[in-house]
Homo-oligomer: A and B are copies of this chain.
Amino acid sequence: MAGLNDAARRLVESGVLAHMVTKNDDGSAQVSVVWVGLDGDELVAAHLDGRQRKLANMRRDPRVALSFEAQTSNEIGMRHYLVVHGRARITAGGAPELLGRLAQSYVGPGTVLPPMPDPPPGFVTHISVTRVGGQGPWSTATT
């Protein structure tokens, strides 16, 4: 398994948004912008709504890609970015707790999420990293 280096781990945990790409059954890309965090060597995302198309897509084809914008740029002003390719595994439950944890970095310390009193257990996607790309201190890959 490929892994994230320290710079990539710091970026993922800094509260930057993940552009999450799964594959529709007609082969086209499905893209959602989501919150993600780390759980050991895996990336994790929470889904309160089990009917999301990306969940059905990952159950059919577990290959997923996530891209993140960095704050740094290269010498001509083009922003660094991280692309993580991985394989998704979906487990039932735990979405409210993970959303609550991620809200601390994505919205701010002390944020209480989900907003409803009795949220559904939802689903958590666990993504094991298979390849790292992009432009920045985590990759020598080209576009």
Contact = CB atoms under 8 A, between A and B. Distances in A.
Interface in A2-44: 17, 19, 21, 23, 27-29, 31-35
Contacts of A35: 78
A68 to B, nearest CB: 9
B33 A85 contact: no
Interface string A49-71: 00011100000010111010100
Nearest to A21: B29
A1 B31 CA distance: 20
The listed residue with most B CB atoms (<10 A of its CB), out of A77, A103, A111, A133, is: A77
Interface residues on A, range: 35 or more
Contacts of A140: none
A49 to B, nearest CB: 8
The listed residue with most B CB atoms (<10 A of its CB), out of A21, A75, A85, is: A21
5 contacts: A27-B27, A28-B63, A33-B69, A75-B115, A76-B115
